[in-house]
Amino acid sequence: MKDLTQGSVTKHLLHMSAFMAVSMAVQTLYLLADLYWVGHLGKEAIAAVGVAGNLMMIVLALTQMLGVGTTTLVSQAAGRKDQPRAELVFNQSCVMSILVGLVLGVCGFLLRDAYCESLSADAATAALAKSYLLWFIPALVLQFPLVALGSALRATGIIKPTVRLQVLSVLLNIVLAPLLIFGIGPWPRLGVTGAALASFIAILIADVLMVIYFEKKYHYLRFRFPLFRPQTRIWREMLHIGVPAGAEFVLLFAYIMIVYGIIRGFGPAAQAGFGVGARVMQALFLPVVALSFAVAPVIGQNFGGRRGDRVRQSVYSAVGIASVMMLVLTLIAHFAPAPLIRAFSNDQRVIAFGSDYLRIVSFNFVAAGIVFTTSSAFQGIGNTWPPLLSSMTRLFLFVLPAALIARTPRFEIKHVWYLSVASIVLQACINLFLLRNELRKKLTFEGLDDLVPGDATAA
């Protein structure tokens, strides 16, 4: 375990962010490489992978729920030097991840056809989306134990092993994807199904290697099968922290579904342009997402160790670093969007739709960076309800105007992007206001044991 209650908080944030960024960079490289190869199959294939890939938002919501609960409780226990409590939470998290993943897999296959048909712009896109989900759903199921194990390591300040395993897995995926998509050599030509199968194989190997690492190398948190027996008290504590964080991703999924519904009438090119633009933006957000992943364990350990001054320093440092990074990315996306989109599609309509999307939404990049870091600060403290409130406010203020504007005769897609920018800027302001109040309430040293919420304390 790495003690994050000592030393420079900025150094801890940058150190952990750097390794997380490497992991995410490789993961993003896979996403972009996958999109590149699928792009050679046509705009219907791009749109199909975009439609099917939206299920990833549900998985992100559920894994965020489990991961945030695990990271917060384990990091706070580690900050208090309570290793038995940390190990108990770790084992309970493993059990929850397996059960939730299995339930998601069953539901995914039952609803696969209806989901693809309802969101695809045409029958060809729907058929390709169904084929993609054949192996992509099992790949999503395997994400759950992987996230639980990685979150526990991150909570204790350990990043390198997870990064190494993820890099290995992603490189394997990048190699397998073109072989299975195009049927190179002895490999069968599977099209979009091959892209999903490559993901499944790579994630399966990552799961196996992560379990081996815990068994052979890591000793602070160990698998204890007697601790696998479900304990509802621990589950309630994890869910109390994790559910609001997961619900934020559900709201994001709802936002994406609304956008797809609004632009459906513009055809596959519009859906493909939005899909490519969203993937590119995801890649651009990599540094600030890596930073936000570091914020929660740093604040969590210091909050558990009653270091209020270091919690405040972590918040100020994270927000400052995020703002600078996102300002640079704003300039890139605003002034050179077309080359970013053109790398993944040579269809002029796709490039036009995707470029407009990136150029406009770049105005919310700084605000988005503030949202990421402040939300992670709430996670470290153990109160994730305020960010959920701001996310709900953002979605509400986006949906109603978008629905009304979409019915007007002069409606253009760019109107949706401008509404999105305004809603995220408002969300950032709300997050800052709520976090300021939260820090004022929680970081009083007198009587801290009474002020720390029950879900964030040892039993």
Q: Please choose, from the candidates 390, 363, 384, the residue with its C-alpha nearest in 3D space to the C-alpha of residue 295.
A: 384
Q: Where are the domains of the chain?
A: 9-439
- In the block, which residue shows the tokens 């539901």? 107
Would you state the pLDDT for residue 74? Answer: 93
Give the angle 68-275-403 at the CA atoms, nearest 5°: 85
First to last CA, the chain: 21
- How many residues are listed for the chain in this entry? 459
Cα–Cα distance for residue pair 42/45, rounded to 1 Å: 5
Which one is predicted more confidently, 253 or 415? 415
Average of per-residue pLDDT across 314-321: 94
Q: Please choose, from the candidates 439, 424, 192, the residue with its C-alpha nearest in 3D space to the C-alpha of residue 316.
A: 439
The pLDDT of residue 456 is above 50: no
Of 307-316, 395-404, 417-426, 441-450, which gets the smallest average pLDDT? 441-450
Where does 54-122 have alpha helices with state H?
55-79, 83-119
Would you state the pLDDT for residue 428? Answer: 94
Of 90-104, 215-229, 269-283, 368-382, which gets the smallest average pLDDT? 269-283
Average of per-residue pLDDT across 1-9: 84
> Who's near 211: CB < 8 A, 6+ residues apart?
149
By CB atoms closer than 10 A (0-12, 13-18, 19+), residue 446 is exposed
Q: Are 391 and 447 in contact (CB under 8 A)?
A: no
The pLDDT of residue 370 is above 50: yes
Cα–Cα distance for residue pair 161/218, rounded to 1 Å: 10
The pLDDT of residue 432 is above 90: yes
From residue 38, alpha-carbon distances to 24, 83, 97 in Å are 21, 46, 30
Average of per-residue pLDDT across 59-87: 89
Would you state the pLDDT for residue 459? Answer: 28
* Amino acid (1-letter code) at residue 31: L
For the chain, how big is the Rg over CA atoms in Å? 22
Give the angle 324-326-331 at the CA atoms, nearest 5°: 105
Average of per-residue pLDDT across 391-400: 86
**What percent of the chain has a predicted confidence (pLDDT) above 90?**
28
- In the block, which residue shows the tokens 């933006």? 281
The pLDDT of residue 447 is above 60: no
Q: Please choose, from the candidates 60, 36, 27, the residue with its C-alpha nearest in 3D space to the C-alpha of residue 199.
A: 27
Cα–Cα distance for residue pair 321/336, rounded to 1 Å: 23
Average of per-residue pLDDT across 373-399: 90
**What does the block give as tokens for 65?**
């729920």
Q: Are 390 and 427 in contact (CB under 8 A)?
A: yes
Would you state the pLDDT for residue 348? Answer: 83
No. of H helices and E strands in the chain?
17, 0
Q: What is the pLDDT of residues 240-272, one digit of tens each?
A: 998 898 887 778 777 777 777 777 777 777 777
- In the block, which residue shows the tokens 């995020």? 322
Q: What is the pLDDT of residues 156-189, one digit of tens each?
A: 988 888 888 888 888 888 888 888 888 877 777 8
Would you state the pLDDT for residue 42? Answer: 75
> Who's near 378: CB < 8 A, 6+ residues apart?
384, 386, 387, 434, 435, 438
